[in-house]
Amino acid sequence: MLERLEQQNLFTIPLDDRREWYRYHPLFSDFLRQELERRLPETIENLHQRAALWYEAHHGVEAAFKHALAAHNEAIVIRIAENNLK
């Protein structure tokens, strides 16, 4: 599916030569965020928390920290800071 979307230049942008990582086109990304905020605003903090934990486990410290802040999860913010600000 991602390959087809890329070939048709629809909504995705490859981030590596192996075509393992993609990001959404900024306009589509904005649309998806707006829809999430409109339809399921109560899930946003939980999604940020899950993203923070994923990035933390995969050594994406900066992204993990940003998502932990967006999730308003002080415990994760503190843990990331303590483990990475040495």
Please tell me the distance from the alpha carbon of residue 12 to that of residue 28, in angstroms, as a whole number: 9
pLDDT at 7 over 90: no
Report pLDDT for 42. Answer: 98
- Predicted model pTM: 0.80
Other CB atoms within 10 A of residue 18 CB: 7
Average pLDDT over residues 71-77: 97
**Segment 27-63, tens digit of pLDDT:** 989 999 999 999 999 999 999 999 999 999 999 999 9
Say what the pLDDT of residue 9 is: 80
**Would you tell me how many other CB atoms lie within 10 Å of the CB of residue 76?**
20
